[in-house]
Structure 1
Amino acid sequence: MEIALAANGSGAARDWPGAVALLRAVAATDPVAADQLQLVEQMALGREGMPLRIPTPERLCESPEILRYSGFISPDECRHLAQSAEDLLAPAQVMDPATNRLIEHPIRTSDFAVIGPTREDLVIQAILRRIAVASDTAVEQGEPLNILRYAVGQQYRLHSDALPNVVNQRTKTAILYLNDNFKGGGTLFPDAEVQVAPVAGDLLLFTNTLPNGRPDPVARHAGLPVVQGTKWIATRWIRANPFDVWNPS
């Protein structure tokens, strides 16, 4: 927890070099820390944990902008994200526009886990920095990472990620596909006539709003039902301005 908070700047300035030094010290006697350090050292990172390079995206749609980054994260990083949520998974929830709180709803029938700031190990934080560069946003604009697991028949029905009546809108969505050894489960944008087949390690990045900041109805999308196997993804909603993860309301 101390390593996570040092790196993400909770209560103090962000200190990536200091967090890496702490992780390296713990890794000498702790196998979990050693595994995390090995993953971090495999990444091409600058001194502050920012990526030195990212893949070039494929543009799937102009309006709304839908981009696909092939091979955005490695197989080991995919496994790490899925495993980071195993002890937290619970029935998925949606944002209630009346109360601005998460509630269970039949539109979303997966299991999910929220990786809050105390659980953001350095592997996860490096990936969040990579998403920030790809989306041309600051890390602080992102909501906590969601890990989702879809069993056979589970889906996320047609919806918009933009929220009604909020000042700090969800302008972009980043979806990481963590596996592809399943059938079904594609991401469909019916109004844009785009359907994306999940490929492990790919990032799907799309814009939820119009230039005036209002929700873009064409950006509505659905996670199609899984037909066979289990689908794992990680989702990061990105706001127009910095988002306080300690005080979401």
Structure 2
Amino acid sequence: MERQMAVNEAERLAASGQVVAAAELLAEAARGGDADAAMLLAVWLLRGTPLRRDLAAARVWLRRAAEIGHVDAALAEIALTANGSGAAADWPPALALLHVAAANDPVAAAQLALVDAMALDRSGLPTRLPAPEPLSAAPRIVRFPALLTPAECAHLAGVGAALLEPARVIDPRTGAWVAHPIRTSDGGAIGPTREDLVVRAINARIAAISGTSVDQGEPLTVLRYQPGQEYRPHLDTIQGASNQRIVTVLLYLNQGFGGGETHFPEVDLTITPRGGDALLFANTRADGRPDPATRHAGLPVTQGAKWLATRWIRAARVDPWTLA
């Protein structure tokens, strides 16, 4: 059976409810050298449909697809190796895989160049951080100038650009997705399979400036605000959450646009975004309750486009595969 025929037949079988037969067909084709079949089987196992999610098994089929020469499978395997999906997080093997991929893939080569320019230890953790600039003591608001380089900012914007969609929430009355009532930007979260080593190292840098573990952070979310778009005053905490958002870190990815300042009305503080700067603020009080003084807004953009990345950090570890 030709390769595309195997994938098409497997998709037909799965659509008709014959999931086991579809998976067996893909596995047989993958063992015979079909990279697309191996990749599709890995995607099904990662996605959790039509097969039950099995990250360890998915890693096996990603490895097979990468061995045959599937570029996207190689990049996904690198990301999962670094972030610990399906096995313990392990930076050195992930970096070694990136070196292999970079030999033939310009995307991997560009990522490797960015990683090589970073000040990292053998575990991918930062060895140098900018000095913090306190902006408010209560609530705690701190700026870290030039936490990111221009090239790192451009990389995050590039990864996020492919994921952008209008901000939406679920209407609690109908269960339908509706336009977000207070955030009018376009955004997208960088999930585990897209958390390349550049993103992973930046997430580790965020953990370092916040004094938290990298695994406490939700997936980094990239936002784009165009003229007229804004994020009206709000709290980042989640009502009734058992694992609360205790810290927010904003990464400003560009500058030179009009408007778009971050405003804290309770303390009369307004921050003008500068590309590469990070803004950190605590969302909760010492007793763990949400702090109303952290209410903040992204003021309307008046000209150009504002690019931002947000990392919401929880009190305890987050599983990005099950996070609602």
Q: TM-score, normalised by structure 1?
A: 0.96
Q: 1:137 aligns with which of 212, 233, 238?
A: 212
Rounded to whole Å, the distance in 2 between the matches of 1:223 and 1:17 is 38
Matched to 2:283, the amino acid is: N
Map of 2:144 onto structure 1: 69
Match of 2:252 among 173, 177, 191: 177
Q: Distance in 2 between matches of 1:115 and 1:102?
A: 20
Asked if 1:159 is matched to 2:239, the reply is no
Are 1:148 and 2:223 matched, yes or no? yes
Percent identity, aligned pairs only, is: 57
* CA spacing shift, 1:240–1:218, aligned 2, 3 Å: same
Return closer, same or farther for 1:118/1:96 CA change in 2, 3 Å cut-off: farther
Q: Which one of the candidate residues 26, 31, 40 is aligned to 2:106?
A: 31
Task: Kindly report which structure 2 residues correspond to 1:1-249, keeping only aligned pairs within 5 A, or say none.
Answer: 1-94=76-169, 104-249=179-324
Summarize the Cα distance change of 1:91–1:54 in structure 2 as closer, same or farther, 3 Å threshold. Answer: same
**C-alpha distance in structure 1 between counterparts of 2:176 and 2:119, whole Å:** 38
Give the stretch that moved more between structures: 101-110 or 231-240: 101-110
Q: For the residues of structure 2 that align with 1:100 and 1:207, how far apart are their CA atoms?
A: 31
Partner of 2:30: none
Q: Which blocks of at least 5 consecutive residues in structure 1 are unaligned?
A: none
RMSD of aligned C-alpha atoms? 1.7
Which digits, 9 at most, give the CA deviation of each residue in 1:156-199, with x for residues without a partner? 00000011011100000000000002010000000011110000
Contact 1:179 1:201 in 2 (8 A): yes
1:96 deviates by: 6.9
Deviation for aligned residue 1:104: 3.0
Aligned to 2:35: none
How many Å apart are 1:101 and its aligned residue?
10
Mapped to 2, the partners of 1:231 and 1:81 lie a distance apart of 13
1:11 is matched by which residue type in structure 2?
Answer: G
Change (3 A) 1:215 1:99: farther
Offset at residue 244 of structure 1 (A): 1.0
- d(CA) in 1 for partners of 2:279 and 2:183? 19
Native 8 Å contact 1:94 1:108 kept in 2: no
Q: Taking structure 1 as reference, are residues 37 and 152 closer, same or farther at Cα in structure 2, changes over 3 Å only?
A: same
Q: Quote the offset at 1:15 in angstroms.
A: 1.1
Q: Which has the higher contact order (CA 8 A, sep 6+)?
A: 1
Moved more, 152-161 or 82-91: 82-91
* Deviation digits for residues 45-68 of structure 1 (CA, Å, limit 9, x no counterpart): 001100001001100000110000
What residue identity is the alignment partner of 1:130? Answer: R
CA contact (8 A) 1:97 1:163 kept: no
> Larger helix proportion, structure 1 or 2?
2
The one-letter amino acid of 1:69's match is F
Give SS of 1:248's match.
coil
* Aligned partner letter, 1:134: I
Question: Any idea what the Cα deviations from partners look like across 1:65-114, whole Å, max 9, x if unmatched?
Answer: 00000000000000000000222110013577899998532310000011
User: Hey, which of these two has a bigger chunk of strand by percent?
Assistant: 1
Q: Which has the larger radius of gyration?
A: 2
CA distance in 2, matches of 1:110, 1:98: 23
